[in-house]
Amino acid sequence: MKKNENTAVEFENVSKSYKIKGFLKNKEIRAIDDISFKINTGEIVGLLGLNGAGKTTIIKLICGLIFSDSGKVSV
């Protein structure tokens, strides 16, 4: 995707995993896997999904509170 002056947010092949430490074994949860989208200036966007679908992870990535494991986030 090409970013232009109208692009407010852009995700390019973004993935993010979380490591969960347990008593006997460690586990890795893939919150989002290789997602790409673009939001243009002035657009109204809704983010819907089931529990654990990655909605909060996407918002945290947009706000810069966390960083992706791979891909590019542009704001």
Q: What is the residue extent of each domain of the chain? A: 7-74
Q: Which long-range contacts (CB under 8 A, 24 or more apart) does 60-69 make?
A: 61/11, 61/14, 61/16, 62/9, 66/16, 68/14, 68/15, 68/16, 69/15, 69/16, 69/17
Q: What is the pLDDT of residue 34?
A: 97
| pLDDT at position 37 | 97
pLDDT of residue 3: 59
pLDDT in the model for residue 10: 97
What does DSSP assign to residue 22? -
**Phi and psi angles of residue 60, each rounded to the nearest 5 degrees, phi first:** -65, -35
User: Which residues of the chain are under the pLDDT cut of 70?
Assistant: 1-3
Residue-level pLDDT at 9: 96
Listed in order, strand segments (DSSP E) in the chain are 7-21, 26-40, 70-74
